[in-house]
Structure 1
């Protein structure tokens, strides 16, 4: 099983695969660069709650220091139970999980506002780059104030040709886990996929969501399988 997601998540996925009897080959195609100062400044401004769409934010908080301790009682709205649990693990006591994508997270916040009333301060959205626009578009359409702060960005990783060939051709994996459109684009841009596509005719392309599957080139489209929900448990259930 070829795992492309960034570390340390890649290692966690590899352990899960190993426990299920699969051999994992790790080839992270990006890494996260945190903007800790931007997050510190954002936390110092008034905000009604925090919204996060990735557990990467929890990893950021694990390195930010003790000066955020007064903010740990802030309500957190998170995409997915795993992200909510990760925020709790770094000290946020009031973390709530919503569905598996940004639009579901926005709907959760909208439902909360209907019950509790409009917030006096904006929702603080600690976001990554690149990101999908669904969360921000839905909150904007609902008239709920929010402030987006880019807290990390994903930076592409490159490898020597021999390392790529080893991961993809020695032997060709049975399946590749595609978690995001960005990782899918990077994967299909690797030299072996471009230069010898026939070698990958039997490769299963396991996609986290329809948005990921949409990136799969037409010649490989019949090999794409889509998880029933945009979370890792559903993705691995395809195995």
Structure 2
């Protein structure tokens, strides 16, 4: 199958390798790129002493960019959504990594269960922008003190019509992988695709969660498949479902 990957370049290249191993043709279409706030992240680490939480691997990559000043903080408990993000944290050198599958809400529940056994200081949430509100809302509901610091911001990439023509007009796409609500909204708002909606008539939209699927236009809902679990293994398994 010819599969369009809408993730940022670093993650998208990893997904493309997995798709190639599965026998699919991967087409990269990153719609945004991270702008890293390295100084603010370094300062936030220096000003805090408790556990760290991340809901995206992009936060771990910002930590990696800090370099040597990160070393004193590698012993702090780190809570991460998803195995891939947790593995990146471990590869970076974090010793005590707790992993939650699913959404930010489930990560907050995990933190609540472990809270009594970790240093009692406000949690440092290294966040991106834009982001879903679920994690912070659930932390508040669980009375877990936290500080949010935006360590990166996703900046939209300008996509030329010629690129989209090559990807969707010159050769049809069998499937598009959608990993976030924001990315899905951006994809379907691209002017070229809005002018040529017929190009998507036979394309499947594989979504990591129901929240992401909500960003798909109603006219294309019959083309949507949602992963059983919000992880890439479940998402890619959908390629073999039909």
Which TM-score band (shorter chain)? over 0.9
In structure 2, distance between residues paired with 1:46 and 1:196: 50
> In 2, are the aligned partners of 1:168 and 1:192 still within 8 Å (CA)?
no
- Give the alignment partner of residue 89 of structure 2, picking from 87, 90, 106: 87
SS of the residue corresponding to residue 33 of structure 1 reads strand
Q: CA deviation at 1:116?
A: 2.6
In structure 2, distance between residues paired with 1:158 and 1:50: 33
Unaligned runs of 5+ residues in structure 2 are none
Counterpart for residue 74 of structure 1: 76
Counterpart for residue 138 of structure 1: 138
Q: CA deviation at 1:159?
A: 2.3
Counterpart for residue 202 of structure 1: 202
SS of the residue corresponding to residue 47 of structure 1 reads coil
Counterpart for residue 187 of structure 2: 187
Q: Provide the TM-score with structure 2 as the length reference.
A: 0.95
Q: CA deviation at 1:47?
A: 3.1
Which aligned pairs between 1:16-27 and structure 2 lie closer than 5 A?
Answer: 16-27=18-29
Q: Give RMSD over aligned pairs.
A: 1.2
Q: CA deviation at 1:46?
A: 2.6
- Give the alignment partner of residue 107 of structure 1, picking from 100, 106, 109: 109
Counterpart for residue 6 of structure 2: 4
In structure 2, distance between residues paired with 1:216 and 1:231: 19
Which aligned pairs between 1:120-139 and structure 2 lie closer than 5 A?
Answer: 120-139=120-139
Matched length = 237
In structure 1, distance between residues paired with 2:48 and 2:92: 21
1:157-182 CA distance string (max 9 Å, x none) = 01221112111222110000001111
In structure 1, distance between residues paired with 2:138 and 2:212: 20
In structure 1, distance between residues paired with 2:197 and 2:93: 47
1:114-156 CA distance string (max 9 Å, x none) = x437x53100000000111111111101111000000001000
Counterpart for residue 55 of structure 1: 57
In structure 1, distance between residues paired with 2:222 and 2:32: 26
Q: CA deviation at 1:48?
A: 1.7
Counterpart for residue 219 of structure 1: 219
SS of the residue corresponding to residue 216 of structure 2 reads coil
